[in-house]
């Protein structure tokens, strides 16, 4: 029983938490993100086209930024985010960092994990990045920040655009993305179409399209979830059926003995009632709590892979913040407890009303 509830609740917690996170994340994305391709591969945008994009009437804001990986070790890449400290950035996490800390040229803001890693390599106040041509670039570590609430920024380094370009080997005004905000959302598809015309090689993704992409991959993995859920439900009903269809001879004996001792029907039923109630509620509470701990503290080690599949993970990493939809809790409770209850009480009642002798046979 408990196992069942735990499984169901785990799946529910996971799915609700992830879908909630997806929606909140996409809220703060810029309305349109433009990247360039060159010969079919990811290329670089020229920052100068921002002025041209701003000429489009409906565009309220446009800025270029650099977001690129920097290989530190074989399995760890830092994410370098090159920004202009005085530009308004859509991403609330990075905007908050820029508000709090002064970003000067030649210095950077690093995440806690990055700082630790650099410390291990004996870099405490500064770090030497290796340029593509092999030369070194020294950047001062200005401040470190905490990424507990933003695990997708675990390896984030924020620095000025010039420093980022220097390290990554980008030319004078190259950047990786241009973020575009549109004042009147009705205009977004039109502006996206215009951008595609102006820059034929560019990849123009609107917020809506990005949301759809996330939802699509999420729904795909939801399918697996649904299968598991159906199986658990089926198992549950098998248990119920088993209980309903009759009682094992032991149970009959038990009831028979109780009646022989002199227990009245009401008492037997009462005892059964408490027993069933206790089992149902206890397993419900236990199942839910274990599922809660499993998902939000242990971060769902094995089952989590249903949703946090590698392909999906590429785009997102989830912090799995506790987001409980009481609807689910309620649903499972209503589903499980009364049914189990009934499944225990009804046969017990049937048996208890039989004569004591008959039962013992």
Partner 1 sequence: MIRSLFVAMLFLTTLFAHADYSQAVKIKKIYPLGKKIYEKKCKELDLDGLSTQEELLQRINGSKCSKLSSKYKEALTLYLWEQKLHNHTPHYKALKVTKEQKCPVCGMFLYKYPNWVSMIEYNNGKKYYFDGMKDLMKYYFENPNGVKQILTQAYYRQKTINAKDAYFVTGSDIYGPMGNEFIPLANKEAAKKFLIEHRGKKIIRFESITPEMVEALD
Q: Which stretch binds partner 1 (CB under 8 A): 81-89, 266-274, 286-294, 298-306?
A: 81-89
Whether 81 contacts 158, CB under 8 Å: yes
In the bound complex, what is the minimum distance in angstroms from residue 206's beta carbon to partner 1?
A: 17
Among 57, 116, 357, 358, binds partner 1 (CB under 8 A): 57
In the bound complex, what is the minimum distance in angstroms from residue 59's beta carbon to partner 1?
A: 7
| 108 is a contact residue toward partner 1 (CB under 8 A) | no
Among 2, 46, 61, 316, binds partner 1 (CB under 8 A): 61
Q: Which stretch binds partner 1 (CB under 8 A): 61-69, 199-207, 242-250, 298-306?
A: 61-69
Residues 167-186 that bind partner 1 (CB under 8 A): 183-186
DSSP letter for 305, please. G
Q: Which stretch binds partner 1 (CB under 8 A): 80-88, 201-209, 271-279, 281-289?
A: 80-88
The residue assigned the tokens 């508000």 is 99
Q: How many residues bind partner 1 (CB under 8 A)?
A: 20
Among 3, 28, 48, 60, binds partner 1 (CB under 8 A): 60
Whether 339 contacts 240, CB under 8 Å: yes
d(CA 255, CA 248): 11
Judged by beta carbon, residue 43 or residue 189, the one nearer partner 1 is: 189
| 122 is a contact residue toward partner 1 (CB under 8 A) | no
**Quick one: 38 exposed, middle or buried, by C-beta within 10 A (0-12, 13-18, 19+)?**
exposed
CA angle 50, 166, 113 (to 5 degrees): 100
d(CA 358, CA 355): 5
> How far is C-alpha 306 from the chain's CA centre?
12
The two beta strands, 156-160 and 77-83, are parallel
Binding site for partner 1 (CB under 8 A): 50-51, 54-55, 57-63, 86-88, 183-187, 190
């Amino acid at each position: 029983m408990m196992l069942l509830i735990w499984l169901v609740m785990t799946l529910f917690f996971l799915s609700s938490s992830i879908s909630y996170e997806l929606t909140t994340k996409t809220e703060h994305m810029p309305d349109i993100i433009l990247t360039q391709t060159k010969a079919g591969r990811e290329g670089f945008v020229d920052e100068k086209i921002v002025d041209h994009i701003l000429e489009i009437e409906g565009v309220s804001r446009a800025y270029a930024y650099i977001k690129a990986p920097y290989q530190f070790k074989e399995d760890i890449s830092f994410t370098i985010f090159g920004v202009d400290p005085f530009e308004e950035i859509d991403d609330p996490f990075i905007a908050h960092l820029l508000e709090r800390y002064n970003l000067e040229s030649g210095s950077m803001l690093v995440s806690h994990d990055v700082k630790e890693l650099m410390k291990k390599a004996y870099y405490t106040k500064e770090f030497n990045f290796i340029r593509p041509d092999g030369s070194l670039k020294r950047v001062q570590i200005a401040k470190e920040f905490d990424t507990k609430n933003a695990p997708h920024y675990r390896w984030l380094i924020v620095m000025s655009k010039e420093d980022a370009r220097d390290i990554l080997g980008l030319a004078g005004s190259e950047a990786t993305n241009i973020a575009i905000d549109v004042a009147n959302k009705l205009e977004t598809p039109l502006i996206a179409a215009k951008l595609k015309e102006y820059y034929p090689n560019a990849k123009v993704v609107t917020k809506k399209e990005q949301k759809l992409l996330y939802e699509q991959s999420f729904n795909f993995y939801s399918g697996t979830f649904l299968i598991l859920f159906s199986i658990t439900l089926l198992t549950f009903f098998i248990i119920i059926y088993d209980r309903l269809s009759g009682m094992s001879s032991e149970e009959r004996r038990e009831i028979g003995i109780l009646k022989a001792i002199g227990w009245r029907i009401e008492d037997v039923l009462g005892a059964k009632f408490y027993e069933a109630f206790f089992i149902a509620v206890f397993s419900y509470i236990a199942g839910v709590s274990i599922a809660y701990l499993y998902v939000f503290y242990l971060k769902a080690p094995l089952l989590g892979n249903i949703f946090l599949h590698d392909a999906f993970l590429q785009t997102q990493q989830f912090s799995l913040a506790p987001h409980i939809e009481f609807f689910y809790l309620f649903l499972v409770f209503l589903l499980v407890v009364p049914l189990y209850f009934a499944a225990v009480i009804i046969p017990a009642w049937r048996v208890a009303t039989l004569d004591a002798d008959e039962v013992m046979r």
